[in-house]
Amino acid sequence: MSVEEWMRLCPPGWLRVKAQLPPADKNTESSLPGWMRGIVTSCHALTYVSGDLIEPRTVEIPGGSDAEVVGGMEIFREDLKDSPYLWNKDCYVIQSTGTNTGVLTVVGPLKDGEHWLERIPAGYEAVPIHIVPEPKTKDQ
């Protein structure tokens, strides 16, 4: 994912926000990072993000290695076929590549004990909403 895509998707400050993505229409394709397009446009999905490019955190990721993490995402996808579990949750870690290439690495999907859920966990309804802006065009 490009740094520019992440900056549109996630405001700085490590505050969890609900990313309000554009409606699924012709504009969606240009607004989402490429790797997300098939995930959130194929079904009803809720996307929560947090992070900060300026103040990354060093954490251990699955596999036992340390990584400079600039953010994380939780994507809840509605899936009525998994009844009684109406939601599938996947987590993604966004890490710096350690170089000034303008590219970030997305690790995931990571599944935890909350992968199959009957409802969105308590506390998520009070999360602030971040309206994801459209990408700038070459004319802007």
What pLDDT does residue 130 have? 92
What pLDDT does residue 139 have? 56
What pLDDT does residue 127 have? 94
CA distance 109 to 115: 10
In a domain, 130, yes or no: no
Question: What stretches in the chain show pLDDT beneath 70?
Answer: 22-31, 40-43, 61-64, 136-140
In a domain, 133, yes or no: no
pTM of the full structure: 0.83
In a domain, 132, yes or no: no
Full domain range(s) for residue 71:
3-121
The DSSP-derived string for 85-115 is --EEEEEEEEEE-SSSSSBEEEEEEE--TTS
User: What is the number of domains present in the chain?
Assistant: 1
Q: What is the pLDDT of residues 21-51, one digit of tens each?
A: 766 555 555 567 777 877 766 667 889 999 9
Coarse DSSP helix, strand, coil percentages of the chain, rounded to the nearest 5 percent: 15, 40, 45
